[in-house]
């Protein structure tokens, strides 16, 4: 149990003390500050969570704690005392002896951080053998032991595989084993589960937490996900723009944050919209089956109803076919069989057969506004084109409409002559929304529109979309993998898994009492802002015997 083991850990001595840390990064022909005077310390066996939005400098601090700066970065000031010695002022050779053996690193996307040319086992034991900590035979036996502890399948033989031969979740655990090989005093985890699906994430989190506790290893856990850090950390430090906002014990930080910024961060996940029932359906999809060139079937027999003026959330993990469904609705990937009807009229399956007006009535917003906006077109050109193309607006009429649209997305007209590169992520996404609205659509497909944004910005965008629906009566198909987003915006929920609809129904019904086992698994795997959530879930699953089955 988490709470008891935390108390039982050997504590007292400081392992790592970081003082006045400054890091700069090189871009645009000059140095910019990334980390500006951060202090913290870490005791043996303690886990410190570093949390913040993009640009907060948390990953850079994680690496600096190892005395390392990425190529293109430099540590300009401060000290990093590890076990009483300054990592920054010691010789490179001494630092090298500490790295891997006493301080280790676990990266976000293991697929890129593992060397593709070597077997997992060779990479796991490399440091131990090179630093003379263990003989090759001992190290191999120990690696198998670690694989077992991390609940990797076939621990005896998995080490003989190459990185591309195992799955993402397994690779992330193998990387943890590699970090553990020399039983380091400190491990830096840099968003180790961010790239994984939620059901996989639970297992990896559980494995990581177990080995860290078993070996009483201190850790720095870097993440942007509050619920995840709540499960892993004893203490949490909130960062913003390379500076510390506040630092406190996990429970205290969750229940009583002292700073306004932290409170905003915390409040983000609590947005929830009451669901409203619809009168009729704007879009009905019946028994649609679709496949990509090459014949791989990605959707089989999918039927979905989209209520008019409401939001349907399509929920599922990667590979569930939810984005493919969006391509089928837009006509980019014509369905092989089945039918779609829009506003009680049959909708031609292929984009080419649809009339200009039909195209106007269904619009789409994408996940990444960076690739959805042409970097060479100004905001004005972007918004004006649908007005000219669909509605034939010109001159003053056009300019007035552009002004109205900018007002709707809560931006002023001084942005009109800017290029996308001069806007923030949230502003770019607003422009994409304005472009969709310019067509006066009846249905907007939103494909993970908030996933690429920071949480505070996510909330602003969601509120904007809700307001626009209320004012304009537009319907949304909202594709997402994030349950908090579903809670915030949906009226109805469709759960998809491996190209099939698992269940569809009103939001409250699906979220509170799911019928399908997969929905149950999916919902229970979403971390909650409660430090005891993971412990409780594992205990529950152990009782039900589902944890092993889910591996």
Nearer to other proteins, 307 or 441 (CB): 441
Please state the closest distance from residue 407 (CB atom) to other proteins, in A.
22
Please state the closest distance from residue 130 (CB atom) to other proteins, in A.
7
**Whole-number Å distance between alpha carbons of 496 and 502:** 5
Map residue 400 onto helix, strand or coil: helix
**Whole-number Å distance between alpha carbons of 356 and 343:** 16
Nearer to other proteins, 211 or 510 (CB): 211
Please state the closest distance from residue 321 (CB atom) to other proteins, in A.
18
DSSP string, 64-106: HTTT---TTEEEEEEEEEETTEETTTS-HHHHHHHBTTTEEEE
CA angle 165, 180, 105 (to 5 degrees): 80
Contact criterion met (CB below 8 Å) for 90 and 66: no
Q: How many CB atoms are located within 10 Å of the residue 185 CB?
A: 22
Rg (CA), the chain: 26
**Whole-number Å distance between alpha carbons of 335 and 342:** 15
The closest alpha carbon to 361, from 377, 375, 344, 376, belongs to 344
Nearer to other proteins, 264 or 374 (CB): 374
Please state the closest distance from residue 231 (CB atom) to other proteins, in A.
18
Nearer to other proteins, 359 or 547 (CB): 359
Nearer to other proteins, 40 or 114 (CB): 114
Nearer to other proteins, 182 or 538 (CB): 182
Using the Cα atoms of residue 445, residue 451, residue 452 and residue 453 in order, give the sign of their dihedral: positive
Structure-token pair, residue 175: 């990387």
Q: What is the DSSP letter of 415?
A: G
Nearer to other proteins, 306 or 510 (CB): 306
Residue 139 makes CB contacts below 8 A (sequence gap 6+) with 124, 125, 128, 129, 133, 181
Residue 263 makes CB contacts below 8 A (sequence gap 6+) with 257
Residue with tokens 């593992």: 114
**Whole-number Å distance between alpha carbons of 363 and 445:** 6
Nearer to other proteins, 30 or 543 (CB): 30
Please state the closest distance from residue 427 (CB atom) to other proteins, in A.
12
Question: What are phi and psi for residue 444, nearest 5 degrees?
Answer: -120, 130
DSSP string, 130-167: HTTSS-HHHHHHHHHHHHHHTT-SSTTTGGGS-GGGS-
Please state the closest distance from residue 211 (CB atom) to other proteins, in A.
18
Nearer to other proteins, 146 or 439 (CB): 439
Nearer to other proteins, 70 or 263 (CB): 70
Residue with tokens 């290893």: 217
Please state the closest distance from residue 449 (CB atom) to other proteins, in A.
12
Nearer to other proteins, 10 or 28 (CB): 28
**Whole-number Å distance between alpha carbons of 55 and 21:** 16
**Whole-number Å distance between alpha carbons of 491 and 476:** 10
Nearer to other proteins, 150 or 195 (CB): 195
CA atoms within 13 A on the CB side of 77: 9
Q: Are strands 103-106 and 14-27 parallel, antiparallel or unpaired?
A: unpaired
């Amino acid at each position: 149990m988490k709470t008891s083991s935390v108390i039982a850990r050997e504590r007292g001595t400081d392992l790592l003390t970081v003082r006045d840390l400054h890091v700069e990064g090189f871009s645009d022909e000059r140095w910019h500050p990334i980390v500006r005077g951060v202090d913290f310390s870490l005791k043996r066996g303690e886990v410190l969570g570093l949390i913040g939005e993009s640009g907060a400098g948390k990953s850079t601090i994680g690496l600096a704690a190892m005395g390392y700066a990425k190529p293109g970065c430099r540590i300009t000031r401060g000290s990093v005392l590890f076990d009483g010695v300054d990592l920054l002022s010691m010789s490179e050779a001494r630092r090298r002896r500490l790295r891997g053996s006493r301080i280790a690193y676990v990266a976000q996307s293991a697929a890129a951080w593992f060397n593709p040319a070597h077997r997992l086992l060779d990479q796991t034991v490399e440091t131990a053998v090179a630093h003379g900590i263990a003989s090759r035979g001992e190290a191999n036996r120990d690696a198998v032991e670690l694989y077992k502890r991390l609940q990797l399948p076939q621990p005896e033989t998995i080490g003989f595989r190459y990185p591309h031969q195992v799955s993402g979740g397994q690779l992330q655990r193998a990387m943890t084993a590699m970090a553990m090989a020399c039983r380091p005093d400190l491990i830096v985890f840099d968003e180790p589960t961010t790239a994984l699906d939620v059901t996989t994430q639970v297992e990896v989190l559980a494995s990581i937490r177990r080995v860290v506790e078993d070996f009483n290893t201190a850790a720095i856990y870097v993440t942007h996900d509050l619920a995840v850090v709540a499960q892993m950390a004893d203490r949490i430090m909130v960062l913003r723009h390379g500076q510390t906002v506040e630092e406190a014990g996990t429970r205290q930080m969750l229940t009583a944050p002292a700073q306004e910024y932290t409170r905003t961060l915390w409040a983000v996940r609590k947005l929830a919209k009451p669901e409203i029932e619809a009168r009729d359906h704007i879009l009905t999809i019946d028994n649609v089956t679709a496949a990509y060139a090459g014949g791989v079937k990605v959707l089989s027999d999918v039927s979905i109803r989209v209520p008019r003026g409401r939001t349907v959330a399509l929920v599922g993990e990667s590979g569930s076919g939810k984005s493919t469904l969006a391509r089928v609705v837009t006509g980019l990937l014509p369905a092989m069989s089945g039918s779609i009807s829009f506003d009680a009229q049959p909708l031609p399956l292929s984009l080419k057969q649809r009339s200009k007006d039909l195209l106007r009535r269904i619009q789409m917003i994408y996940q990444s506004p960076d690739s959805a906006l042409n970097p060479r077109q100004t905001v004005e050109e972007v918004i004006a084109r649908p007005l000219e193309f669909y509605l034939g607006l010109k001159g003053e009429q056009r300019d007035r409409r552009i002004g109205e649209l900018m007002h709707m997305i809560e931006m002023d007209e001084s942005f009109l002559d800017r290029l996308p590169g001069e806007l923030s992520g949230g502003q770019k996404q607003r422009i994409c929304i304005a472009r969709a609205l310019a067509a006066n659509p009846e249905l907007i497909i939103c494909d993970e529109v908030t996933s690429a944004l920071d949480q505070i910005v996510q909330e602003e965008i969601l509120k904007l979309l809700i307001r626009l629906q209320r004012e304009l009566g537009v319907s949304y198909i909202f594709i997402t993998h994030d349950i908090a987003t579903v809670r915030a915006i949906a009226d109805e929920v469709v759960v998809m898994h491996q190209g099939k609809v698992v269940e569809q129904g009103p939001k409250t019904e699906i979220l509170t009492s799911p019928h399908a086992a997969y929905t149950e698994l999916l919902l229970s795997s979403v971390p909650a802002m409660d430090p005891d959530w993971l412990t409780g879930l594992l205990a529950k699953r152990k009782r039900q015997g589902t944890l092993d089955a889910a591996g």
